[in-house]
């Protein structure tokens, strides 16, 4: 069992090293995210001038939601994994994995975890610098259950993010370019993932409907747990739905890999 895991541990360590090479890239990206955060603070600050309460939450709670979302984004989002997988398929680099006792999904997932640990840690640099300005707006409920449910939700969010990126990468077996699909999906994810506004601000019917899709479980759901937008029972129920989506997306990814390989032609020697 441990010998099986050892090869993925090595992939994880290599992923860690190669992502540390791009540490400045992640740090700069984190720094520019502060501009987006500034837009959020200015817009919502102005919106709360007209109403002290929006959707049952005050300004501090709303801004805390967006800061949490920013941190989650760097910890769980798939940045360019879909393009990397796509490139490996297009250039025939997956051929080497077909001949070795290594699972391609597990290999890519190990690298994804390493990359997110690096980017997640580095986003705290600009956030700590901004803390004197944004600190007074942060307010987190400190119920113990939020951590007990929230941490598994973050792990499952990362898995959903990766599975979706993996599925898009697999499309390369059928399409030469996946950029259009990825960007269209990014736009849908940004709305239904709660990045543009907290989903609970939509009409109740639309909100209930959106919670049946995988997108809110990419980021909105864990952020809603940590920032007090969800209660205990609601969180447990949604954690179940999230786990189902992970299972379903994993199966779709596996199916696409198996079908895609039938179309794949490995050339060269």
Can you give the binding site for another protein, defined by CB under 8 A? 25, 28, 32, 35-36, 38-39, 42-43, 45-51, 54-55, 180, 183-184, 187-188, 190-191, 196-197, 201-203
Least distance (Å) between residue 164 CB and another protein? 17
Per-state percent for the chain, helix, strand, coil, to nearest 5: 75, 0, 20
Least distance (Å) between residue 77 CB and another protein? 16
Which of 115, 116, 104, 84 is closest to 7 using CA atoms?
104
Least distance (Å) between residue 216 CB and another protein? 15
Q: Indicate the SS3 state at residue 54.
A: strand
Residue number with CB closer to another protein (95 or 190): 190
Q: Are 225 and 235 in contact (CB under 8 A)?
A: yes
Least distance (Å) between residue 200 CB and another protein? 10
Residue number with CB closer to another protein (12 or 65): 65
Residue 54, phi then psi, degrees to nearest 5: -120, 115
Classify residue 95 by burial, with Cβ atoms within 10 Å: 0-12, 13-18, 19+. Answer: middle
Q: Indicate the SS3 state at residue 167.
A: helix
Least distance (Å) between residue 50 CB and another protein? 4
Least distance (Å) between residue 136 CB and another protein? 13
Residue number with CB closer to another protein (55 or 152): 55
Q: What is the DSSP letter of 197?
A: S
Residue number with CB closer to another protein (43 or 151): 43
Least distance (Å) between residue 71 CB and another protein? 18
CA distance 12 to 256: 24
Return the biggest CA–CA distance within the chain: 68
Residue number with CB closer to another protein (44 or 104): 44
C-alpha dist (Å) from residue 120 to 40, 72, 97, 128, 207: 21, 8, 28, 13, 29
Residue number with CB closer to another protein (20 or 38): 38
Helix axes 81-90, 104-122, angle to 10 degrees: 140
Q: Are 163 and 243 in contact (CB under 8 A)?
A: no
Residue number with CB closer to another protein (9 or 36): 36
């Amino acid at each position: 069992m441990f010998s099986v895991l050892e090869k993925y541990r090595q992939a994880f360590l290599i992923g860690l090293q190669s992502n540390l090479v791009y540490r400045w890239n992640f740090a700069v990206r984190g720094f520019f995210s502060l501009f987006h955060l500034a837009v959020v603070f200015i817009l919502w600050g102005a919106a709360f001038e007209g109403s002290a309460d929006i959707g049952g939450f005050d300004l501090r709670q709303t801004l805390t939601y967006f800061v949490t979302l920013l941190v989650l984004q760097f910890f769980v989002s798939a940045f360019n994994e879909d393009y990397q997988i796509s490139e490996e398929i297009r250039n025939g680099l997956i051929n080497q994995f077909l001949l070795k006792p290594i699972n391609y999904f597990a290999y890519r997932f190990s690298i994804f975890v390493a990359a997110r640990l690096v980017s997640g840690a580095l986003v705290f640099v600009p956030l700590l610098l901004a803390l004197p300005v944004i600190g007074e707006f942060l307010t987190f409920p400190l119920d113990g259950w939020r951590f007990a449910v929230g941490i598994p939700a973050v792990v499952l969010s990362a898995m959903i993010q990766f599975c979706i990126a993996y599925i898009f990468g697999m499309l390369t077996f059928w399409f030469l370019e996946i950029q259009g699909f990825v960007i269209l999906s990014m736009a849908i994810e940004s709305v239904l993932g709660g990045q543009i506004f907290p989903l609970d601000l939509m009409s109740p019917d639309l909100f209930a409907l959106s919670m049946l899709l995988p997108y809110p479980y990419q980021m909105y759901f864990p952020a809603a747990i940590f920032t007090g937008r969800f209660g205990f029972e609601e969180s447990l129920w949604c954690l179940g739905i999230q786990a189902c989506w992970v299972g379903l997306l994993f199966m779709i990814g596996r199916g696409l890999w198996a079908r895609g390989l039938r179309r794949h032609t490995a050339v060269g020697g």
